[in-house]
Amino acid sequence: MTNEVEVGKAGALFEDFLKEQGTYDETTEQAVKRVLAFQLAAAMRDQHISKVEMAKRLDTSRSQLDRLLDPSNDGVTLAVLSRAAQVVGRSIRLELV
C-alpha cells in the first residue's frame, strides 16, 4: 500500500509540473491518443485482423489506417476512432470529470 501512495503522490506532482509548464492538456491528449492506438492495435492482434482487412472493414486505405494507429498522429477524429473501435467490437467511453 505504501508504494501505491508513493506512486499516486508522484503522479500528482508530475501533473502539477505539467500544469506549471503549461503542457498538461497537450500531454494528456497525446497520452489518450497513444493508449487508444495501442488498444486498437492489440484488439486487431487478438482477433487476427490484418491491417489490410481492417482498412477494408473501415472502407479506407492502408495508409489512412497507419495514421490511425500511429500514436503520435493527433489528427485523428473521435468519429474515426469510434468507428474503428466498433469494427473490433469495442466502444470508446469518454467522460467529463
Task: Give SS3 for 73.
Answer: coil
19 domain-assigned? no
Q: How many domains does the chain have?
A: 1
**Averaged pLDDT, 53-82:** 91
User: By percentage, how much of the chain surpasses pLDDT 70?
Assistant: 88
80 domain-assigned? yes
35 domain-assigned? yes
43 domain-assigned? yes
Q: Which residues of 10-44 are buried (b: 16+ CB within 10 A; e: fewer)?
A: eeeeeeeeeeeeeeeeeeeeeeebeebbeebbebb
74 domain-assigned? yes
17 domain-assigned? no
pLDDT exceeds cutoff 60 at 34: yes
Spatial CB neighbours of 40, under 8 Å, sequence gap ≥ 6: 68, 69, 81, 84, 85, 88
21 domain-assigned? no
Range of the structural domain that residue 63 is part of: 29-87
CATH value at residue 34: 1.10.260
- What is the pLDDT of the chain when averaged over all its residues? 85
